Amino acid sequence: MGMVYRLKIWPMVGILVFFFMGALLRLDIRTQVATENVPFQPRFLARVPVHPQDPEITEDHPSYREMSFILDQIRSLESTRPIPVEWKIRLQKVAVFVLHPLELMVLDVGEPSRVRCFLLEVLTQFQEEAVRQFLFRIFSDSRDDSDVREKALESIRLYLQLPAYRDRTVQELLSLLSFETDFIFREKIRNVLPGD
């Protein structure tokens, strides 16, 4: 009777050991697949404006009309001609009222990169945390136009000169460096970072 009982238990033990080893092997294989075959995922920050929309600023508002007029002039300008400085000065005067629409136009990838870069220059006059975050949102998206990303990095560089923003800017640039997939932009980030 004891021998018969032992013979019945060994197949069950064998089956349990087989399933246990299979589970371990499968877990090991899945771990290797997860670490070896997963492509590097770039980090994208939210592509949304940082300044809230002002309900009083409609298309009929004088500042909005001025912004629209200047941007229409830039769009119609030949790409070889430089943008007149007067237009930048005029837009900088009304920019504080139309920050949200300006940011929306910078985020619009359908907008010509020349216009988007010009708008980034205008936004850079506001050396505040919200604009710094917006610049990082533009620069962090490797899918965006390289000229626009380069202009955003150029504007971010200005924050390294301001003691109030220097440490945070360095930390965020280091973080972006670890996620950047484009070798050229990795080098540009390294060149912007302070050497100390």
> Three-state DSSP class for 107?
helix
Please state the pTM of the whole predicted model: 0.74
- Pair 32, 70 in one domain: no
- Pair 122, 187 in one domain: yes
By CB atoms closer than 10 A (0-12, 13-18, 19+), residue 127 is middle
pLDDT tens-digit readout, 51-68: 999 999 999 999 999 999
pLDDT tens-digit readout, 150-179: 999 999 999 999 999 999 999 999 998 888
pLDDT score, position 121: 95
- Pair 101, 175 in one domain: yes
CB 158 within 8 A of CB 128: no
173 vs 16, which has greater pLDDT?
A: 173
Domain count, the chain: 2
Specify the DSSP element, H or E, that contains 50. Answer: none
- Pair 12, 94 in one domain: no
Kindly indicate the confidence band of residue 14, based on its pLDDT and cuts at 50, 70 and 90: confident
- Pair 69, 158 in one domain: yes
CB 157 within 8 A of CB 188: no
Q: Which residues contact 2 (CB under 8 A, 6 or more apart)?
A: none
- Pair 70, 30 in one domain: no
By CB atoms closer than 10 A (0-12, 13-18, 19+), residue 169 is buried
Range of the domain at 24: 1-38
The reply to whether 17 falls in a domain is yes
The reply to whether 45 falls in a domain is no
pLDDT tens-digit readout, 89-127: 999 999 999 999 999 999 999 999 999 999 999 999 999
